[in-house]
Amino acid sequence: MYDAVIIGAGSAGLMCAARLVSKGLRNFIVLDSNSKPGKKLAVTGNGRCNLTNLKLDSNLYFTDDPKLLDSVISRFTVIDTIDFFEKTLGLKTVNKDELVYPWELKSSAVIDVLRLYIPQECFVFDSKVNSIRKEDDHFVVASDKEYPASNIIIATGGKSYVNTGSDGSGYKLLASLMPQDSFVPISPSLVQLKTSDRDLKVLSGYRFNCSIRLVCNGDEKASETGELLFTDYGISGICTMQLSRYLETGKNTVVVDFIGRDEDIIRSCIANFSERSTRDALAGVLPGVLTDIVLKRIGVKKLISKNEIDKFIDELHDFSINISGTNGLDNAQVTRGGVKLSCLDENLQSKLVRGLYVCGEVINVDGPCGGYNLQWAWSSSVIVADDISRSIV
Ligand SMILES: Cc1cc2nc3c(=O)[nH]c(=O)nc-3n(C[C@H](O)[C@H](O)[C@H](O)COP(=O)(O)OP(=O)(O)OC[C@H]3O[C@@H](n4cnc5c(N)ncnc54)[C@H](O)[C@@H]3O)c2cc1C
């Protein structure tokens, strides 16, 4: 009989196992359907793994239980996380402003320090868990073999980037043990946005450093500054993904300010090259395709009068993109929804099924880009491991 079976060797499962080891526990196993640990962790931060955020604000997460979320993150903080990685696991970290990365700027370093700290015999790979049943005072976890355990930890992730192993099967495992009203329906978060504006197709592949804001049903909901990438379906880039979190049912519009404070440059190009077409006059500052779209939107062929130039500038400051939806879960960085945090106690143990613990993205918690989602995986898994080790040691 194992003290614990951890289902999932992703960010949360690995951290949970490492924490158990640091508390002197060895009688546990980690099962994963993949042939190696941390497959999603490997692709985080463009392969560099932004592992946390020095300015983390717990108010920026979405969840059904903000108080419990704040308590979990306050009990294993960003500083505790960096300390654990540096002092216990031996990972050197480096900061880029408030974003924290492994010093090597490689996610493989994060996976390696976790993997190497956990005894090899605790891992069982290529082992997809299909069912869990409760028998008297323990659980039986079934994959190709059966594993009896006093405690089980569901660290199966959400349902985004399915090819990394998080295929949503964790929700089914939980649903077999918890009441149906314990779940918030899942949807993609931190995801690219689609547009129905056909005139924007020609911008596909263009990148702009600009400010963007999201207006939902007439109200501004969020704004971001950064790189905006136009694609064949709509818009992408970190700032777009951040806005995707605030989309509402109804009319959603992204308003782009392409020029910020640089409108004088536009005005002087138009004045200096007035003999040229507007597209050619602005060739050194704006892609011709964008100039053409903006001219078409304001209904002018060549900018001549002050009024026309003002309208053109206004359109560059307030360029609307109608949002028709988002890409699917498979392209989303995180899954919104999952098991309700409010169905778990302060140590993330099911309030109804004792011995059943949950951590990481499978819980209804999602944060913005910038290390928030990994911090949730680290904090929630440590809280679970600490509670289990208190009950055993
Ligand atoms: C492209 C991308 C970039 C990202 N970048 C960042 C970033 O830089 N910073 C940040 O904070 N967050 C980032 N995230 C989000 C972050 O990676 C996740 O929130 C985090 O990994 C979730 O951890 P988890 O352990 O809950 O789930 P996962 O890491 O997805 O791990 C779940 C594990 O469970 C296994 N599993 C699932 N079901 C079963 C089953 N039935 N039986 C056995 N095993 C099972 C899976 O194989 C998987 O290994 C990124 C996500 C993506 C997709």
Average pLDDT over residues 358-385: 98
**Confidence tier at 392 by pLDDT (50, 70, 90):** confident
Cα 28 from Cα 41, distance rounded (Å): 22
**The dihedral of CA 280, 286, 292, 298: what is its sign?**
negative
Average pLDDT over residues 354-375: 98
Own/partner contacts of 265-272, CB < 8 Å, gap of 24 or more, are: 266/312, 266/313, 266/316, 267/309, 267/313, 270/303, 270/309
Res. 52: pLDDT tops 80: yes
**The pLDDT of residue 82:** 98
Ligand 1 pocket: which residues have CB below 6 Å? 7-13, 31-34, 39-41, 43-45, 49-50, 128-129, 155-157, 160-161, 164-166, 169-170, 333-334, 360-362, 371-374, 377
Own/partner contacts of 65-71, CB < 8 Å, gap of 24 or more, are: 65/340, 65/341, 65/342, 68/341, 68/342, 68/344, 68/346, 69/341, 69/365, 69/376, 71/346
2-188+335-392: CATH architecture: 3-Layer(bba) Sandwich (3.50)
Structure tokens at 291: 């100039």
> How many angstroms does the Cα of residue 46 sit away from the middle of ligand 1?
14
**The pLDDT of residue 310:** 96
Res. 261: pLDDT tops 90: no
> How many angstroms does the Cα of residue 241 sit away from the middle of ligand 1?
17
Q: Which residues pair with 44 in a beta bridge?
A: none
What is the largest distance, in Å, between two alpha-carbon atoms of the chain? 87
**The pLDDT of residue 155:** 98
Query: What integer best gives the mean pLDDT of the chain?
Result: 96
Average pLDDT over residues 270-283: 95
3-state secondary structure at position 25:
coil
More confident residue, 262 or 299: 299
**The pLDDT of residue 391:** 92
> How many angstroms does the Cα of residue 319 sit away from the middle of ligand 1?
35
Task: Return the half-sphere exposure (C-beta side, CA atoms, 13 A cut-off) of residue 291.
Answer: 19
**The pLDDT of residue 393:** 65
Closest CA to 17 of 2, 35, 33, 5: 5
Q: Report the nearest-CA residue for atom 9 of ligand 1.
A: 371
Average pLDDT over residues 369-374: 97
Cα 5 from Cα 179, distance rounded (Å): 22
Q: Among 144-148, 223-227, 240-244, 300-304, which stretch is predicted with the lowest mean pLDDT?
A: 300-304
**The pLDDT of residue 136:** 86
Q: Tell me the pTM.
A: 0.96
3-state secondary structure at position 318:
coil
Q: How far is CA 330 from CA 143, 160, 163, 167, 176, in A?
A: 25, 5, 8, 10, 24
> How many angstroms does the Cα of residue 112 sit away from the middle of ligand 1?
16
Q: Find tokens 């924007």 and name the residue.
A: 200
Q: Cα-atom radius of gyration of the chain, to the nearest Å?
A: 25
Digit-coded pLDDT (tens) for 84-137: 999 999 999 999 999 999 999 999 999 999 999 999 999 999 999 999 999 988
> Are 5 and 141 contacting, i.e. CB atoms less than 8 angstroms apart?
yes
Average pLDDT over residues 245-265: 95
State how far Cα 46 lies from the chain centre: 12
> Are 9 and 125 contacting, i.e. CB atoms less than 8 angstroms apart?
yes
Digit-coded pLDDT (tens) for 156-208: 999 999 999 999 999 999 999 999 999 999 999 999 999 999 999 999 999 99
**Domain residue extents for the chain:** 2-188+335-392, 193-326
Q: What are the DSSP E strand ranges found in the chain? A: 2-7, 28-31, 52-53, 62-63, 93-96, 99-102, 123-124, 131-135, 138-142, 146-154, 183-189, 193-195, 207-216, 219-230, 234-236, 252-257, 319-326, 334-339, 356-358, 365-366
Torsion of CA 366, 237, 230, 293, to 10 degrees: 90
Average pLDDT over residues 24-53: 97
Which ligand 1 atom is at minimum distance from the Cα of 165? 47
